[in-house]
Structure 1
Amino acid sequence: MAAAGSAGESSVGSSSRRAPGNNTPSYDRIVTVFAPNGRLYQVDYAWNAVRLEGVTSVGVRGADSACVVGQRRARATKDKLLDTASVSRLFPITERVGLLATGIAGDGRALAQEARNQTAEFRFKWGYEMPPDVLAQWIADRAQICTQYVSKRPSGVVAMVLGIDDEKETPQLFTCDPAGYFLGHKAASVGHKDREAVNFLEKKMKNNPSLSFPETIQHVGLDAMAISALQFALKEDLKATEIEVGVVRKDDPTFRPLTVAEIDEHLKAINQSKQN
């Protein structure tokens, strides 16, 4: 980004673009000022914050279920005394909707709390639970507002929203980014090694685009697809205490994080399948 900022500065050819008393161009410091190449650098830096946090997340939507898998913390963290059970990026928002936040942990917690308040107000006003797509749009709108005011900064987090749409009776999976954009996905990955995981998922989903719940759990959420996608991206095996998994099913639409024991069972199944 520094190189891009330098290029933009020379193209302008005037010190009037610089903030008073600072050698940094104003478009590099203030989110409301476009760079000469048409970009908002502070939004780009928010994306960098997501990736530099060092964690990767994977989400997959099946025919009757949806699942997300994420690292609790970066593998590079050297704190051996840390209780990993106290670290979580997976949040129940309503009884049927969950959120996995990838990026700055504090931003993720703040977003989850605001989302809970928003869904509670929605239920009080309209008498039914906020659908996953409406929540995803609200999160995107919240992020977009932060790109319009100097007094705010973009959120350094990408949210994966999953749940069952009561009206359509289908599972849904969305990503909401710092630029204020949200998209629905069959499968997605966010974070430090997202590109590697997406390449893995694209190949797997091409052969089996519509997965049932057992396949979503075994081959997507925990087993060969999501766990293998994370392990493929990170180039190392994962432990049950290092990841967290959230699932939601059409026949049981309650959002549920899996326990460490359940995750461990699936990891053992992966190892057995590799040996066979």
Structure 2
Amino acid sequence: MSRRYDSRTTIFSPEGRLYQVEYAQEAISQAGTAIGILSSEGVVLACEKKFTSKLLDNDGSAEKLYILNENMVCAVAGMTADASILVNNARVQAQSYLKTYNEEIPCELLIKRVCDVKQGYTQHGGLRPFGVSFIYAGYDDRYQFQLFTSNPSGNYSGWKATSIGANNSAAQTLLKKDYKDDMTLREACDLAVKVLSKTMDSSNLNSDKLEFATLSLSKTEPGKTIRKIWAGSDIDLLIKESGVLDEKKDDDE
């Protein structure tokens, strides 16, 4: 009986559910974990690379991290092809706002505009929802540093620390336990490594399996943001200094 309802994006089931949206969210739960942590000095985004190969010609570019404009970076979980379309839409929206008003678009306004596109794909026949969730890290003059997530339904919400993708529940539990409001950016990075080390399926943690990005303020130019997608050498150094490898050795012993 349910086949009548899950074959169309626009038809509600008797329980009031849109099965196609739920299927899209299920696809995201199979993707690599992505987490975001808000600190007093900036925002950290960290992602698990689900599929890696030594034969892949990866020129150092990130697979799941994207720069949207001068003040925003995002992480994705799900279908990266769908993510590319929405990222491109967000970049166009951001540059259009900058051209019109000569200032960067507020973080929440940009997220709302992208979510409007995602929501539209849940109410028109012949379309399917975007199979991707986002974590947005942003900064603006009014609300300072911000962290948001959005899902295929077009819903979005603000967070202090959050996760999407595989092992989402376990990651959220660890973040609830260890998150502090007054964390520095470095402490947030260490927490991100710790959470991923305990939620990832792989026992060997290194830069081949992780992507990192941070958003912070420049110490020399007031109001200017620094968006950094970390190189592999920086990630390996962070993992080493965070001490998670020593903890894993102790657990194995």
Q: Give the alignment's TM-score, normalised by structure 2.
A: 0.88
Q: Does 1:180 align with 2:154?
A: yes
Equivalent position SS for 1:128: coil
5+ residue gaps, structure 2, are 219-223
**Separation in 1, partners of 2:113, 2:62:** 26
Q: Report the Cα offset of residue 131 of structure 1.
A: 1.8
Q: Report the Cα offset of residue 273 of structure 1.
A: 7.8
Query: In the alignment, what sits opposite 1:100?
Result: 75
Equivalent position SS for 2:233: helix
**Separation in 2, partners of 1:273, 1:47:** 32
Equivalent position SS for 1:255: strand
CA RMSD of aligned residues (A): 2.0
Equivalent position SS for 1:167: coil
Query: 1:220-259 to 2 correspondence within 5 Å?
Result: 220-221=188-189, 223=190, 225-235=191-201, 236-251=203-218, 253-259=225-231
Q: In proportion to residue count, which structure has more helix?
A: 1
Q: Does 1:268 align with 2:240?
A: yes
Query: 1:114-125 to 2 correspondence within 5 Å?
Result: 114-125=89-100
Equivalent position SS for 2:40: coil
Query: In the alignment, what sits opposite 1:13?
Result: none
Q: Does 1:88 align with 2:63?
A: yes
| Residue identity in the other structure for 2:200 | L
In the alignment, is the contact (CA less than 8 A) between 1:175 and 1:183 conserved in 2? yes
Q: Report the Cα offset of residue 118 of structure 1.
A: 1.1
Q: Report the Cα offset of residue 72 of structure 1.
A: 2.8
Q: Report the Cα offset of residue 109 of structure 1.
A: 1.2
**Separation in 2, partners of 1:141, 1:107:** 15
Query: In the alignment, what sits opposite 1:3?
Result: none
| Residue identity in the other structure for 1:37 | E
Pair member with larger Rg: 1
Q: Does 1:204 align with 2:178?
A: yes
Moved over 6 A (4+): none
Q: Report the Cα offset of residue 270 of structure 1.
A: 2.4
Query: In the alignment, what sits opposite 2:7?
Result: 29
**Separation in 1, partners of 2:62, 2:184:** 30
In the alignment, is the contact (CA less than 8 A) between 1:61 and 1:171 conserved in 2? yes
Query: In the alignment, what sits opposite 2:49?
Result: 72
5+ residue gaps, structure 1, are 1-5, 10-23
**Separation in 1, partners of 2:141, 2:227:** 13
**Separation in 1, partners of 2:133, 2:12:** 22
Alignment match of 1:44 (pick from 17, 22, 26): 22
Identity of matched residues, %: 28
Query: In the alignment, what sits opposite 1:19?
Result: none
